[in-house]
Structure 1
Amino acid sequence: MAGGGKTLEGMADGLVTETLVEAASTFFGARKALEDEIELYRRRTEELERAEAEVLRRAAALHSLLPDAAAVRGFYAALGVDPGPLPEAAAGAAPAREAVRAPFSLLPWRRYAGLLLAAYAALAEAAEAYLHGRHATGPGGRKVQTANVGQLRDWCRALNARIETLNRDQRPSGTMSFVRGLDPARQERSRLADAPIADYASSLDQELAFAPVSCPAAEHPVTPELPAAHKVREAVLAHAKTLWAADSAAARARAAAWARARGGR
């Protein structure tokens, strides 16, 4: 009987140990998985920020061909587009003239019009990649989609929902309470200390809680949807002709300044 008692006691201890290992694995495994996902999300967010910066630089290049802020908004209005925060956001960016394929024409106004269209095409291409992503070659030659507003917005919301669930359902205090419950003798000895332990557990829950991730770029994109250049080609060329007719000397000067700046890069 004594031997049998020891065997039963050993079995009970083994079950407790196994349960403790499983509880720890579940608790720390869930936290590690969430930490890894948050880190991956942050890297993708940085990628989106670089795509946003490229949009702003290309917008600045386009806007440098227009007379002033009112003319910038007039340009988008001619295309039937509300630019939203794009003009103001691009105001301090360095123009990405190197991204624009400047056309050749013998007629000065055609050169200006073609340059305006090419600058818009470069912006529309960057805006499309920023908002919806583009296919690229990833590690191992796999085709991947670049970080984009739609992807990061959905991911941010889903990730914050996971964070809220883990903070609520897998609190450190809950794991501590479960572990203490596996040792009734120790639980009884600590009964008189329940209040301070409860305070400590609450503090630990707050200290180890995951903070929600932020997604300002995804929730507040810097550019609206822009029509592809071929769809608004005639509207851009007509608008360029109007600008040229209004002040050809100024338009010629802007095109010349563009060429000088691009040649100096």
Structure 2
Amino acid sequence: MNNISNLADEMATEILSEAADTFFGQRKSLEEHLVLFNSRVQQLEGVGKRARQMQGVLHGILLNETVTRDFYRTLDITEPESVESLPAELVARHVFRQRAWTLRGRFTKLLLTVYAQTQSVVDEYLYGSYRNDPEHPKRKIAVTGYKKLVEWADELNRNINKLNTEQSPNEVLHFVKGLDRQTCAMEKAAGAPCDMGRDRGMLFSCIDFASLDLPNLPEYPQLTKVEAQLRRFCGNTCDSCGPEVRALFKELGRYWQA
């Protein structure tokens, strides 16, 4: 009988060890992934601010809401929910004076220049990039893009829900304590059930991606793919809004001369 009891104790110890390794190993792995995810979010925040700023420059030269709406319709892009236009003073800091014989030529050069800059930084923001490592000049640091972070957050949330459900602290502690049947029986007889009820404060919270400081920007096609459409758009805009275009260049000229 003692041999059977000893064998049961050894099996219980082995099962307990494996359960602890699985429980704490999975939690540690998830915690490490969450730390890495948050660090990548912080890296991307700077790129997001630059992308949002360049989008503001682009909107700043699109005159008004009607022209902005026509611009996105021309490119078959869903117009952003929040269209923030930077004032002429800030627009002038991001683009040099454009010279041409005609108003249409000047406006076309201005829009194509700003569009190319906007497309480049938004593409970097959406799909990621590499930047120089300040501590090791010959090495590069990968910056994860917005779209990859969205997929990563979904995957982490699935793992969090699975871990909270299948490997909750209460379930694991209940299982472990259940290995000692004699103690459980004594506690139940004394009115102290084997259920632990210790999930509160120990469950992982899912990632609320919408609360992160990461703008959801539209994808702008490369300039080479839409240049013809943009040139026609500029011509039509100058024909229908000539005075407003002249006023834009007059206002920008004040800051280009400063």
Q: Which amino acid aligns with 2:244?
A: A
Residue 107 (structure 2) aligned to one of 103, 107, 112? 112
Is the Cα–Cα contact under 8 Å of residues 88 and 252 in structure 2 kept in the other structure?
A: no
Deviation string 1:15-64 (CA, Å, 9 cap, x unpaired) is: 65555444333222211211121222223233444433333211111111
**More helix per residue:** 1
With structure 2 as the length reference, what TM-score do the two structures score?
A: 0.78
Partner SS state of residue 115, structure 1: helix
Corresponding position of 2:152: 155
Is the Cα–Cα contact under 8 Å of residues 56 and 89 in structure 1 kept in the other structure?
A: no
Shift in Å at residue 168 of structure 1?
Answer: 1.5
Corresponding position of 1:191: 188
Q: Distance in 2 between matches of 1:159 and 1:236?
A: 41
Q: Which amino acid aligns with 2:49?
A: A
Q: Distance in 1 between matches of 2:16 and 2:254?
A: 71
Is the Cα–Cα contact under 8 Å of residues 136 and 145 in structure 1 kept in the other structure?
A: yes
Give unmatched runs, 5+ long, in structure 2: none
Q: Distance in 2 between matches of 1:31 and 1:22?
A: 14
Deviation string 1:229-252 (CA, Å, 9 cap, x unpaired) is: 122223223322333333444313
Indicate the percent of aligned positions where both proteins have the same amino acid.
27
Is the Cα–Cα contact under 8 Å of residues 80 and 217 in structure 2 kept in the other structure?
A: yes
Corresponding position of 1:215: 209
Deviation string 1:240-265 (CA, Å, 9 cap, x unpaired) is: 2333333444313313433544676x
Shift in Å at residue 164 of structure 1?
Answer: 1.4
| More displaced stretch, 234-243 vs 115-124 | 234-243
Is the Cα–Cα contact under 8 Å of residues 133 and 146 in structure 1 kept in the other structure?
A: yes
Residue 80 (structure 2) aligned to one of 75, 81, 85? 85
Shift in Å at residue 104 of structure 1?
Answer: 4.1
| More displaced stretch, 230-239 vs 67-76 | 230-239
With structure 1 as the length reference, what TM-score do the two structures score?
A: 0.76
Is it true that 1:71 corresponds to 2:94 in the alignment?
no
Partner SS state of residue 66, structure 2: helix
Closer/same/farther in 2, CA of residues 15 and 133 from structure 1, 3 Å limit = same
Corresponding position of 1:52: 48
Closer/same/farther in 2, CA of residues 255 and 47 from structure 1, 3 Å limit = farther
Give unmatched runs, 5+ long, in structure 1: none
Corresponding position of 1:226: 220
Q: Distance in 2 between matches of 1:102 and 1:217?
A: 36
Q: CA RMSD of the aligned region, Å?
A: 3.6
Deviation string 1:207-247 (CA, Å, 9 cap, x unpaired) is: 322121122389x9733222111222232233223333334
Partner SS state of residue 90, structure 1: coil
Closer/same/farther in 2, CA of residues 196 and 184 from structure 1, 3 Å limit = closer
Is it true that 1:122 corresponds to 2:121 in the alignment?
no
Closer/same/farther in 2, CA of residues 186 and 132 from structure 1, 3 Å limit = same
Is the Cα–Cα contact under 8 Å of residues 56 and 84 in structure 2 kept in the other structure?
A: yes
Closer/same/farther in 2, CA of residues 221 and 56 from structure 1, 3 Å limit = closer
Is it true that 1:33 corresponds to 2:29 in the alignment?
yes
Is it true that 1:245 corresponds to 2:242 in the alignment?
no
Is the Cα–Cα contact under 8 Å of residues 61 and 248 in structure 2 kept in the other structure?
A: yes
Deviation string 1:118-173 (CA, Å, 9 cap, x unpaired) is: 11111111221222223444586555542223211221221111111111221212
